[in-house]
């Protein structure tokens, strides 16, 4: 768990537990700043090891295990799970320990165990909305729909805990990757002289998945990691030039047209006579994305589209298909979305196809792509939303469909609002409708 939430929980804990926890936390503080430096350097294992060595396993108390679990939560799920499990076994009646243990089990997919631990916490702290909201996810996944609705109502009625914190914690639990760990692993590969690892590293830094709300270049990681890659002296190659190109244009804002154009010209991608595309799709996608957003292609956009589409069709690569669709400047996008889906099976193109057909008013419940996408991606909130909209139109919304939609929203909130962003608005709507059906 992050440091801010650790401090917040400290304020809620009973005095004896709170005292021991505060003492342990004070002991870690000198290491935390050093740990941040190590993480910037990509030395994640060293940062984690320093924390663990502070409280050696042989003499580690359950309170210390609990704190270490909180601190290791963002980067090492396996280790934080074991630490929180030990603390939970020692403190079965300590609410904050049970909350952390609930979230560990939740993240690991043990929904029944997580629901039990959330219940222990909420019995002691009934006014904390976040715990009730997280419990509702576990309950509906465990097939306890009525209990899930009750838990959600309790979260709506509770007086403490913001909706924004709830949304952040859902993201923490259901996020698909741990970018800090990915970066550290890629850096290990670079140290061994693996060019593939260097490509993956710079692609990660160039479009860094912070959370559901923030995906952009991590400028600090990018500048540091580029130095590491260069030191390996991989030699002159178009792959290295693609790495350098991404490093040059990824931090640019959408209005920095000249920065992007200069990078494309210098490294001879897209705007050169041969319309060269990087051979690594993820690097190519980043370069194309910035070229389009910054309007750096000018009248070359059609030529780039033609080339990218040709390569996408031959490779069936989802990133290149996505780049081609981003480049497309015509009116009828639907055939390309359909072709991209059939070629790659990538969720992005099912969503594109379904969105367009829905806007056109031609989407039907038995549409082959809708049916297949629901089977292949049962927890895609955007796919389920189309099924829900059709059922709503036909007055055929069922409890089962709403349960599917709720699970999908927890997996990744739909973007809603005047300024669209992932938020729990549709989740609240679905719970409200499910509650009405249960009456």
pLDDT by residue (tens digit) across 328-383? 998 899 999 999 999 999 999 999 999 999 999 999 999 999 999 999 999 999 99
- As a whole number, mean pLDDT of residues 119-125 equals 98
Which of these, 113, 119, 144, lies nearest to 132 by C-alpha position? 119
| Inter-residue contact 190 to 232 (CB < 8 Å) | yes
Query: What does the radius of gyration of the chain's CA atoms come to, in whole angstroms?
Result: 24
Where among 123, 146, 174 does a domain terminate? 174
Q: Is residue 340 one of the residues assigned to a domain? A: no
Q: Is residue 320 one of the residues assigned to a domain? A: yes
Which of these, 113, 125, 109, lies nearest to 88 by C-alpha position? 113
Same domain, 190 and 268: yes
Number of domains in the chain: 3
- As a whole number, mean pLDDT of residues 82-100 equals 96
- The pTM score is 0.92
Confidence of residue 15 (pLDDT cuts 50, 70, 90): low
**Residue-level pLDDT at 10:** 46
**What tens digit of pLDDT does each residue of 19-54 get?**
889 999 999 999 998 999 999 999 999 999 999 999
112's CB contacts (< 8 A; 6+ apart) are: 138, 142
**What tens digit of pLDDT does each residue of 198-232 get?**
999 999 999 999 899 998 999 999 999 999 999 99
Where among 174, 205, 238 does a domain terminate? 174
Spatial separation of the C-alpha atoms in residues 286 and 246, rounded to whole Å: 7
Q: CB pairs under 8 A, 24+ apart, for 416-420?
A: none
Q: CB pairs under 8 A, 24+ apart, for 254-259?
A: 254/293, 254/294, 255/294, 256/294, 257/294, 257/295, 257/296, 259/294
What is the overall mean pLDDT for the chain? Answer: 95
Same domain, 74 and 186: no
Which of these, 276, 226, 279, 281, lies nearest to 251 by C-alpha position? 226
Structure tokens at 161: 């805990």
Which domain covers residue 55, as residue numbers? 3-174
Which of these, 192, 272, 262, 261, lies nearest to 238 by C-alpha position? 272
**Residue-level pLDDT at 6:** 52
**Residue-level pLDDT at 18:** 85
Confidence of residue 235 (pLDDT cuts 50, 70, 90): confident
Same domain, 316 and 406: no
Q: Is residue 44 one of the residues assigned to a domain? A: yes
**Residue-level pLDDT at 139:** 98
Q: Is residue 314 one of the residues assigned to a domain? A: yes
Same domain, 372 and 240: no
| Inter-residue contact 50 to 39 (CB < 8 Å) | no
């Amino acid at each position: 768990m992050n440091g801010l939430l650790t401090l917040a929980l400290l304020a809620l804990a009973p005095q004896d537990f709170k005292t021991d926890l505060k003492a342990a936390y004070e002991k870690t503080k000198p290491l935390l700043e050093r740990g941040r430096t190590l993480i910037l350097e990509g030395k994640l294992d060293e940062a984690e090891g320093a924390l663990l060595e502070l409280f050696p396993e042989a003499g580690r108390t359950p309170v210390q295990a609990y704190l270490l679990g909180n601190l290791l939560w963002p980067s090492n799920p396996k280790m934080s799970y074991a630490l929180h499990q030990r603390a939970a076994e020692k403190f079965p009646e300590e609410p904050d320990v049970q909350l952390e243990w609930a979230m560990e089990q939740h993240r690991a997919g043990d929904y029944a165990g997580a629901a039990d631990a959330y219940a222990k916490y909420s019995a002691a702290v009934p006014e904390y909305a976040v715990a009730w909201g997280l419990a509702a996810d576990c309950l509906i996944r465990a097939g306890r729909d009525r209990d899930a609705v009750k838990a959600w109502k309790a979260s709506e009625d509770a007086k403490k805990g913001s909706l924004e914190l709830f949304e952040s914690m859902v993201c923490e639990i259901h996020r698909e990757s741990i970018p800090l760990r990915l970066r550290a692993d890629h850096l290990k590969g670079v140290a061994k002289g693996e060019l593939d690892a260097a490509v993956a590293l710079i692609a990660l830094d160039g479009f860094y998945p912070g959370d559901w709300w923030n995906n952009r270049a991590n400028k600090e990681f990018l500048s540091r990691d580029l130095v590491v890659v260069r030191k390996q002296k991989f030699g002159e190659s178009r792959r290295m030039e693609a790495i350098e190109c991404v490093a040059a244009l990824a931090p640019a804002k959408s209005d920095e047209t000249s920065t992007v154009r200069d990078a494309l010209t210098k490294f001879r991608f897209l705007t050169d006579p041969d319309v060269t595309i990087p051979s690594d799709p993820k690097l190519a996608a980043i370069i194309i994305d910035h070229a389009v957003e910054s309007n750096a292609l000018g009248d070359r956009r059609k030529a780039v589209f033609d080339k990218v589409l040709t390569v996408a069709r031959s490779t069936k690569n989802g990133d290149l298909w996505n780049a081609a669709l981003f480049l497309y400047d015509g009116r009828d996008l639907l055939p390309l979305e359909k072709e991209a889906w059939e070629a790659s099976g990538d969720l992005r193109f099912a969503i594109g196809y379904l969105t367009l057909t829905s806007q056109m008013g031609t989407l039907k419940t038995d549409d082959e792509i809708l049916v297949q996408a629901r089977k292949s991606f049962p927890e895609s909130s955007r796919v389920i939303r189309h099924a829900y909209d059709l059922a709503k139109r036909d007055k055929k919304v069922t409890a089962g469909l709403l349960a599917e939609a709720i699970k999908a929203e927890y997996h990744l909130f739909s973007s809603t609002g005047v300024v669209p962003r992932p938020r729990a608005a549709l989740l609240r709507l679905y719970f409200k409708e499910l509650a009405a059906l249960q009456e």
